[in-house]
Structure 1
């Protein structure tokens, strides 16, 4: 029977005219009721004949006009909201006020006509109550008949502020959500035990889990503003220990008037729980640098490059030149731009940044004013095995782009570097450090010679969450497959930042840079990878997933640094961005050394190439790598040289 009524009511809606007629009948009923209460049954007929017909007609006429103005009958009664009830009050107040003025005018024209102010006001109050009551009754009856699906999941909502209340209302009013809200959780002592939307508020303590078990609650939806408390407290572990799954939503202001389950109600991810403070950037300053400019992004199909493209697109550039040699991801980026930023002119170019002739043609045609250089090989173990490719893309590609930026008068060149460039222990990190050295020395060289046309800025940060090939997607896939999770070392730690956060700071640093700086980003607290793996297993709710230690990979450190021992930092106006004081290099010498390194790389002699890299960056000490042999060779040469010098002094 309930199923029949549910289907019947779901497919039928009262017409506007029907609702208007019901509201008119409520006016008539309110008027007659007040006359009856005032004059009794015997006097009702006489009084209505004398003045009641005129009064009723005036009330109906002006209230109908008011209903038309406020559109009180245009909604669906069973989905009435608070705003609909407020409109009813406004409409009746206006209608009764105009009616009263009209009745006063009639009384002045016809002294025999009587108007009772008490009856008029009492009719207004009763009319308001009955119309509001009619909406509430229809809504409650519909919800009691249809209710939630029989297989609805019992849930609690963590959060009693406006976001939590809005979340509860959205879930109650949307049958797409197969959830039944049974209570709220709060951290505020003064809220415990009170009722909210007819539901009890419970304290966040050990007793909570007994309540959840008694009410058969296996899911808690965390209000968006409570995510920071979840992130920085043991609450997550408490929920997981009791087999409670956690969901969250996007902020209320992103709901676009409604909350949809598929898009905005989601499982809490490990990225949501890592300790990070929000990042604020100077949007006006960034917009001033990018708006109306020709912006080039290399590595535009990668994790960082694609997010830079998205953020740049929001600042209304004249056009964006996307360069990458990964055809399929670049095509996906084209489709995304066509869908979201159809008005922005784009140049989608498949090209290798290490191809000087190709890049020269691109610069000559597009004349970029602002360059974000994110194209690079980044995977440490891969580059240990492919040394020459690391040099030809990371070093040569950067040199070609930097030289062309000067030749074609680009205003800014922002290079994306890495924390692995500090005291590098692997080929990839050293290749990025050499790129930093070339860009910075070129900037100083141009400044000294009064030729500074391009501002060269380097940004250096650690791992980004969810980037291609990073540890979190790997762990997620391993959990999906039932494990084991592979961790290289029990003590290994890394800094993490989300891709949007990193790119926001890149844009901020680019706007504040004057040329020659290496900007460091405050990455927050380092995260132990073993703890990360454990937390992801707990968060997934999976059982009996093991963790295996595979040993450090070639070139891998236990921890990464953002500065080496001889460097320090200068603060900027942004609390999360600092300038590194680093050793400066002579441009002509660096240029010759790098050109020699590039030439050697084309001989594909890895040992010789790495030896040259170590000559350019003396702090490059290989770890867990076959190139440790080069370090030992250089140490012997240094010892021999030292002996020669001592012998010379003794003579």
Structure 2
């Protein structure tokens, strides 16, 4: 009812404005006096008013002048007013021409401009009046002052969005852009006042409350640099997600969020050959061991999107497997999914699973991975990462899997801890099997992934929540990082490219100082490092390096068609000899864990427990 009354009111108002517009056009045409209008012209005015009223009201309806929300009027609504005025006056001109009605042709040109002014003016005047009453223009209300970084399309959209949502009580007051040509200009009424070098100064001068980085197309390196500058202010820093995260590519204030560590450590989007991956996975039975873990669960998510014939989640921990199962069934209702609770150490159980389901592709992500825990429990690392991997590899070979892809780690290179050493043996198993099996065995080696279970970032977040201190082992320790989705995308691409025997090495980008990572996380949490939250150095833990390596010296490296994936030169490993060494290891760990650790140096000659490794220098 309220809507109908508004439409009726606008229609009546427009009828009055149409008549006024036509009369004003005659006055302007005849020097401001009706007395100057000749009788042959004046006699037609009443009929012309009736025709103009009918034609223009119909045009206004056609161009949706009665269905727009004028309190949010913008460029779209203005263009509709102009188009409606142009179309209706063109019709009037055509009518006069066809009926030979004596009317000066210039009347309709004048009327067009008056129509735009009075019809549009009333509507936009309502919006301005409404904002003035609400205090949005006069700043009667207390608002937060916003600095936008990026005077492009995203910045322009956000300015409009803030104005459309006065309930947010946020006012864009200044723009920052590195483009010299934009300096001193205004974007939607907001001045571009400087470049990134001026952020700290302007934030202080303008008393800025919040800074929004509004450059969705910017690479992670630029975002990191901008955040570093902004962190020197007292402002809250937020970000508009990247174009890859803006699924529908629409800009809105609802999509502005806090900066997270992935924004600072992320890299350029991965270029994938989805057709190649699809051909590798589609309509095949795929098994993921450790399918409930950080990497395994993401593998399951992405594999499900490529329409496998069947996806088998294998995990020893039922809660994780259950959660992933429910998520996949919700997001992929047509997916044929099997969830198996099993331990890869139990050969008979694995054989039964392979016999029943006949997986064609195996992603082996099950492993013990926590360096300090495995240093304290070396036999468990050996049982899971070596004996378990051997069991899965033997089953894949025995039951004719087409391809076997193992998830490895940079800690397998020149290992200084038992976890890395066991993963190196797992790589050796894969390369040895590839020499004699019809199954294509490959491994994919990469560094740390952001946010994985037990990684440094969740630990730092918990320490910050508890008020600190944040513990860093050494001020110079560095690590490579990539996001879990990126790592898994590259694993799938490498798996699709595999021919057998390769160890694929992922480009991990630039190394990150863990100390800098800790400081950034503290700042992202709204605290000041060493003031609100202390950072303490605890010393390197047993088996820990200052930096990790991705290649053995003798491996070398080859490029692939994907610039993020490389292939290490295969090293010869004799399966028969390796089996004998593993059997000896089985006998040793029964009686003496430390002796087993020492025997690992026989299998992996470059494994050292001393501080003499290159990574510790």
Residue matched to 2:55: 62
Structure 2: segments with no counterpart, 5+ residues: none
Matched, 1:444 2:431: no
More off after superposition, 555-564 vs 124-133:
124-133
Hey, what's the Cα distance between the residues in 1 that align with 2:24 and 2:249?
A: 40
- Do 2:217 and 2:243's aligned partners in 1 also have CA atoms closer than 8 Å? no
Hey, what's the Cα distance between the residues in 1 that align with 2:46 and 2:400?
A: 86
- Do 2:416 and 2:608's aligned partners in 1 also have CA atoms closer than 8 Å? yes
Q: Following superposition of structure 1 onto structure 2, how do residues 199-278 of structure 1 map, counting pairs within 5 Å?
A: 199-204=190-195, 207-223=198-214, 224-226=216-218, 228=220, 230-231=222-223, 233=225, 235-251=226-242, 254=246, 256=248, 264-274=255-265, 276-278=267-269
Residue matched to 2:511: 526
- Do 2:282 and 2:306's aligned partners in 1 also have CA atoms closer than 8 Å? yes
Question: What TM-score comes out, normalization by structure 2 length?
Answer: 0.89
More off after superposition, 300-309 vs 152-161:
300-309
- Deviation of residue 410 (structure 1)? 2.5
- The 3 A distance-change label for structure 1 pair 16 and 499 is farther
Q: Following superposition of structure 1 onto structure 2, how do residues 541-620 of structure 1 map, counting pairs within 5 Å?
A: 541-543=526-528, 544=531, 545-598=533-586, 600-601=588-589, 603=590, 605-620=592-607
Matched, 1:142 2:130: yes
Hey, what's the Cα distance between the residues in 2 that align with 1:377 and 1:177?
A: 48
Residue matched to 1:159: 150
Hey, what's the Cα distance between the residues in 2 that align with 1:418 and 1:72?
A: 63
Hey, what's the Cα distance between the residues in 2 that align with 1:12 and 1:182?
A: 35
Residue matched to 1:283: 274
Residue matched to 1:339: 330
Hey, what's the Cα distance between the residues in 2 that align with 1:586 and 1:435?
A: 13
Structure 1: segments with no counterpart, 5+ residues: 1-10, 108-112, 447-451, 629-651
SS at match of 2:147: strand
- The 3 A distance-change label for structure 1 pair 338 and 22 is farther
- Deviation of residue 292 (structure 1)? 3.0
Hey, what's the Cα distance between the residues in 2 that align with 1:369 and 1:98?
A: 70
- Deviation of residue 85 (structure 1)? 2.3
- Deviation of residue 217 (structure 1)? 0.5
Residue matched to 1:486: 471
- Deviation of residue 96 (structure 1)? 3.2
- The 3 A distance-change label for structure 1 pair 36 and 473 is same
- The 3 A distance-change label for structure 1 pair 142 and 329 is farther
Residue matched to 2:97: 104
Which string of whole-angstrom CA distances, capped at 9 and with x for unpartnered residues, describes residues 349-400 of structure 1? 3332333333333333333233222111110111112223222322233222
Residue matched to 1:76: 69
Among candidates 157, 162, 165, match of residue 171 of structure 1: 162
Residue matched to 1:642: none
- Do 2:158 and 2:253's aligned partners in 1 also have CA atoms closer than 8 Å? no
Residue matched to 1:508: 493
- The 3 A distance-change label for structure 1 pair 372 and 132 is farther
- Deviation of residue 229 (structure 1)? 5.5
Matched, 1:321 2:306: no
- The 3 A distance-change label for structure 1 pair 197 and 432 is same
- The 3 A distance-change label for structure 1 pair 312 and 616 is same
- Do 2:429 and 2:575's aligned partners in 1 also have CA atoms closer than 8 Å? yes
Hey, what's the Cα distance between the residues in 1 that align with 2:253 and 2:330?
A: 23
Hey, what's the Cα distance between the residues in 2 that align with 1:270 and 1:476?
A: 11
More off after superposition, 20-29 vs 567-576:
20-29
More off after superposition, 471-480 vs 198-207:
198-207
Hey, what's the Cα distance between the residues in 2 that align with 1:257 and 1:49?
A: 56
More off after superposition, 469-478 vs 276-285:
276-285
- Deviation of residue 433 (structure 1)? 1.0
Hey, what's the Cα distance between the residues in 1 that align with 2:17 and 2:591?
A: 91
Hey, what's the Cα distance between the residues in 2 that align with 1:334 and 1:20?
A: 58
Hey, what's the Cα distance between the residues in 2 that align with 1:372 and 1:14?
A: 65
Hey, what's the Cα distance between the residues in 2 that align with 1:54 and 1:352?
A: 91
- Deviation of residue 600 (structure 1)? 4.5
- The 3 A distance-change label for structure 1 pair 610 and 252 is closer
Aligned length, in residue pairs: 602
Residue matched to 1:198: 189
Matched, 1:377 2:364: no
Which string of whole-angstrom CA distances, capped at 9 and with x for unpartnered residues, describes residues 285-318 of structure 1? 2222223333222222222122222222333333
- Do 1:287 and 1:315's aligned partners in 2 also have CA atoms closer than 8 Å? yes
Question: What TM-score comes out, normalization by structure 1 length?
Answer: 0.85
SS at match of 2:44: helix
- Do 2:158 and 2:252's aligned partners in 1 also have CA atoms closer than 8 Å? no
- Deviation of residue 604 (structure 1)? 6.2
Among candidates 67, 77, 81, match of residue 88 of structure 1: 81
Among candidates 450, 460, 465, match of residue 465 of structure 1: 450
Which string of whole-angstrom CA distances, capped at 9 and with x for unpartnered residues, describes residues 95-139 of structure 1? 3333433333222xxxxx323321122212322333332332222
Residue matched to 1:634: none
- Deviation of residue 489 (structure 1)? 1.7
- Do 1:426 and 1:623's aligned partners in 2 also have CA atoms closer than 8 Å? no
- Do 2:408 and 2:443's aligned partners in 1 also have CA atoms closer than 8 Å? yes
- The 3 A distance-change label for structure 1 pair 320 and 116 is farther
Residue matched to 1:5: none
More off after superposition, 142-151 vs 79-88:
142-151
- Deviation of residue 528 (structure 1)? 1.9
Hey, what's the Cα distance between the residues in 1 that align with 2:430 and 2:20?
A: 84
- Do 1:243 and 1:541's aligned partners in 2 also have CA atoms closer than 8 Å? no
Residue matched to 1:307: 298
